[in-house]
Amino acid sequence: MVIAIMPRTTPLFTIAALAVLAAPAMAQVTGSLPPTTPVLKRSVTVTNDVVRIGDLVDNAGANANVPLFRSPDIGTTGTVPASQVVQALRSHAIADVNTNGIDGIEVTRAGRAILKKEIEGRIVHALGSQFRSADTKNIAAFFDRDVQPIYVEPWATADLQVSNVIFDPRSGRFDLTIDIPGSAAARRANLHYSGSLIEMVETAVLTRALARGDLVRASDIAIARKPKAELKGDAGGPADRFIGLEARVAIPAGEPLRRADLTRPERIKRDDAITLVYEVPGILLTCRGKALESGADGDVISVMNVQSKRTVQGTVTGPGRVTVAATTAQVAANAPSTNASQ
């Protein structure tokens, strides 16, 4: 009899049916206890390459170790129709089976998944100390092909081994093989990898695109690891040095922030009407003025006293506000005022 399992989702494996490997069971249950009805299980997990009657049926009795079909590939799941299981059980003298109201039994082959991160970590650990002078914690492996998870037997828990290594410390190029001690599945898999070691740095990147003139908020910044060679100019540094600055140009999301692409936001634009503030010890005078230059907070710009027509230089101290610090009271006295306080 042949039993086939249909994959639950995608055809990750093909289950090859075995011919029934044992003669029909013969022994009758005897003893003081009444016989117990065999019951199909809804789902099972196996570790071997064959599925046995006892894996699928509770109370299988003397036939529990009889193999029925090949297991799915390690780490995958398939479904065997309940009707086919019942039919196979009859050939082993198990006729009275409680199907438990199920249409099929899910069979999972247990395994340990080795993910890309573990493979990358082992390669960096093996080769990183030879790569330039970079700290190994700042090195990442970039592969020439997509790296899929490797599924090995659950008992294959030894560390990955790197062998057949070809490595150029200057360019970071590598070509090697990964070995997994104790795993027959790994010996059948293609565990050859090539790629490059890359030095990485943490840098501030944008979480949203900025248009020209947009201000950078704290929520617009995230820290990401980027290849050091890809960073241009003055990218990098503390993230807070970019907060509150204005984009000189459009900057796409995910782009590393550069100080050259940002500027302090202009508080005053040329020809703006402003408040001109004269400060001397103990005296504060204000009057109307006109900006002759644009400026951001802290910039020194030229402004004109509208009443006296005198041009002076002052520091931008806020929106529409320029402060002139005079060293003598005479300078203040020459400036007509609209508001004074002492």
State the pLDDT at residue 326: 65
Question: Which residues, in sequence order, are CB contacts of 337 under 8 Å at separation 6+?
Answer: 278, 285, 286, 287
Entry pTM: 0.63
Helix or strand run (H / E) with residue 84: helix 82-90
Q: Does domain 6-109 have CATH number 2.20.28?
A: no
* CATH number for the domain running over 267-341: 2.30.30.760
The topology under which CATH files domain 201-263 is Type Iii Antifreeze Protein Isoform Hplc 12 (3.90.1210)
State the pLDDT at residue 54: 93
Give the residue from 313, 289, 284 showing the smallest Cα distance to 301. Answer: 313
CB burial class (10 A; 0-12, 13-18, 19+) of residue 231? Answer: middle
State the pLDDT at residue 341: 40
Give the residue from 301, 340, 339 showing the smallest Cα distance to 322. Answer: 301
CA 285, 287, 288: angle at the middle one, nearest 5? 160
Q: Look at the alpha carbons of 121, 123, 129, 132 in this order and tell me if their dihedral is positive or negative.
A: negative
Tell me if 182 sits within 8 A of 155, measured CB to CB. yes
- What's the token pair of residue 141? 């492996």
Q: Look at the alpha carbons of 239, 241, 246, 247 in this order and tell me if their dihedral is positive or negative.
A: negative
Tell me if 199 sits within 8 A of 227, measured CB to CB. yes
Q: Report the C-alpha gap between 270 and 272 in whole angstroms.
A: 5
Tell me if 71 sits within 8 A of 51, measured CB to CB. yes
- Kindly give the residue spans of alpha helices, DSSP state H, lying in 159-238: 184-188
- Domain range summary for the chain, segments of one domain joined by +: 6-109, 114-199, 201-263, 267-341
For the chain, residues with pLDDT lower than 70 are 1-35, 133-134, 326-342
Q: Report the C-alpha gap between 241 and 203 in whole angstroms.
A: 12
